[in-house]
Chains A and B, each alone.
Chain A
Amino acid sequence: AQSVSQHNHHVILSEAASLELGCNYSYGGTVNLFWYVQYPGQHLQLLLKYFSGDPLVKGIKGFEAEFIKSKFSFNLRKPSVQWSDTAEYFCAVNADNDYKLSFGAGTTVTVRA
């Protein structure tokens, strides 16, 4: 089974600061990788996903993530955050032949105006 580790529990930033959230996974086979965001009171929404190809993936709202296979990592980045990026961020993984998702514990991001 896969496991996912998110390094930061709570990140507090000022607007326009850069954001990087760490995510590492453990699994011996081929995986698909996801970042989900949950804004206060809303559904989990997909930010971006990696299945294959270019390891630098661009998602919605200016987010990107880089898959580094040798490090089993899939870190999320945004060069300049906005107050509206305040949310909970979840990294998730599934095995290539399985729809079940394994989630990290989540990182709460608070952006101060």
Chain B
Amino acid sequence: GAVVSQHPSRVICKSGTSVKIECRSLDFQATTMFWYRQFPKKSLMLMATSNEGSKATYEQGVEKDKFLINHASLTLSTLTVTSAHPEDSSFYICSAFTGDDTEAFFGQGTRLTVV
């Protein structure tokens, strides 16, 4: 199947700093990617839809100025957590659909810890 790669897999940062997470589709082009957040023992929560060449679409309750999404190419979307706080600590996962649009492929996730 198609491969989606996230980087980094783990990151620890200090409160007030910004962290960038990359999501790449390695063997296909993805005009649309999705960013999810997963809390311990909880479901994956969709944060935003990342659209190549245009602004991301954020889900209700997700601060767009806090979670900046850039989808500058057909194989790369980035999520930047700005001015991170401990409550932003979580597991962030991206996904993308391939051309036939029937199956989403997921990155391995990024564990963010804000101290």
- A residues whose Cβ falls under 8 Å from a Cβ of B: 4, 9, 32, 36, 41-46, 49, 51, 90, 99-106
Per-residue interface assignment for chain B, residues 80 to 115, with 1 indicating a CB less than 8 Å from any chain A CB and 0 otherwise? 000000000000010101000111111111000000
User: Which residues from chain B contact A32 at a C-beta distance below 8 Å?
Assistant: 102
Whether A51 contacts B46 by the Cβ 8 Å rule is no
User: Which residues from chain B contact A51 at a C-beta distance below 8 Å?
Assistant: 102
B54 at the binding interface (Cβ < 8 Å): no
Given contacts A90-B44, A105-B42, 6 further A-B contacts (CB under 8 A): A43-B107, A45-B1, A101-B46, A104-B43, A105-B43, A106-B42
User: Which residues from chain B contact A41 at a C-beta distance below 8 Å?
Assistant: 108
Q: In the docked arrangement, what's the CA distance between A105 and B44, Å?
A: 7
List 3 tightest A-B contacts by C-beta distance, closest first. A44-B106, A103-B44, A105-B43
Q: In the docked arrangement, what's the CA distance between A94 and B95, Å?
A: 14
B79 at the binding interface (Cβ < 8 Å): no
Q: Smallest Cβ distance from B8 to chain A, in angstroms?
A: 15
Q: Smallest Cβ distance from A48 to chain B, in angstroms?
A: 10
Q: In the docked arrangement, what's the CA distance between A106 and B45, Å?
A: 12
User: Which residues from chain B contact A103 at a C-beta distance below 8 Å?
Assistant: 36, 43-45
Q: In the docked arrangement, what's the CA distance between A9 and B42, Å?
A: 10
Q: Smallest Cβ distance from A3 to chain B, in angstroms?
A: 10
Q: In the docked arrangement, what's the CA distance between A73 and B32, Å?
A: 29
Pull 28 A–B residue pairs with CB atoms less than 8 Å apart, ordered by A: A4-B43, A9-B41, A43-B106, A43-B107, A43-B109, A44-B95, A45-B1, A46-B1, A46-B103, A46-B104, A49-B103, A51-B102, A90-B44, A99-B34, A99-B49, A99-B97, A99-B104, A100-B34, A101-B44, A101-B46, A101-B95, A101-B104, A103-B45, A104-B43, A105-B42, A105-B43, A106-B41, A106-B43
Q: In the docked arrangement, what's the CA distance between A98 and B76, Å?
A: 21
Whether B102 contacts A49 by the Cβ 8 Å rule is yes
